[in-house]
Amino acid sequence: MRLQKYMASCGIASRRKCEEIIAEGIVFINGTVVSEPGHQVDPDKDIVMLNGKIIQQEQKYYFLFNKPENVLCTSGDSRERETVIEYFKNVDARLFTIGRLDYKTSGLIIVTNDGEFANHISHPRYNCTKEYQVKINNFLTDGDIIKLKSGMIIENHLTSHARVFLKSRTKNISVFNIIIHEGRNRQIRNMVEQLGYRVLKLERLKIGEITNIGLDRGSFRELSKNEIQTLLNI
């Protein structure tokens, strides 16, 4: 098994992030530093250490969390703001979020210690859709709906086509749902702001076919085996 894949299976981070950790020269196999990804590991024979501690495969956890606003998708914050991982203090595992929702965005996010699973869900090529509800401060024109659907240039990147469903609009407020499969930083906020609107509220309603139904804000539940398999089959 490749080192980065093994580390991801141990819940260290996503495979891509593990490659970055390996490059830092802080991973040892049988007492020898390894700084190149791709090194082969035999979990039954080799001892892998990170920052002086042995890492090994552990029980896998898969949670669906309904994130409130003003909560960070990180394990810690220098400004002591509330984080997603603080909600999981009673779970004895090194958990992390799959992707991120920004500080002001609420809604669904998956929390796990399975780096391979995280890599599958977060990579654009697997086409895992996410549905959001957006509330903005003005009348959303038909022309701007077409722009949102067709793709926009954000930070020199053309966003993929999206599906947009208008829920309501007045001269002061519009509400619409948008379905995307990319996960670029602040993508929806940037798209909306580029069109001259201001986001008043942004909530993620669905990940794939998994919805927030029955899950209160600030609560979490374990994903079912069927839900996990459905996400892996995307």
Identify which of 78, 84, 94, 88 has the alpha carbon closest to the alpha carbon of residue 7.
94
Residue 27, both tokens: 């991973």
3-state helix, strand, coil in the chain (%, to 5): 25, 30, 45
* CA–CA gap between residue 80 and residue 98 (Å, rounded): 21
- Catalytic residue chosen out of the listed positions 44, 46, 77, 102: 102
How many Å apart are CA 192 and CA 48, to the nearest integer?
Answer: 46
**Known catalytic membership, residue 114:** no
Question: Distance between CA atoms of 29 and 35, rounded to whole angstroms?
Answer: 10
Tokens at 22, concatenated: 């390996």
Phi/psi of residue 177, nearest 5 degrees: -105, 145
Per DSSP, the residues of 153-198 read EETTEEPPP-EEEEEEE-SS-EEEEEEES---TTHHHHHHHHTT--
Catalytic residue set: 102
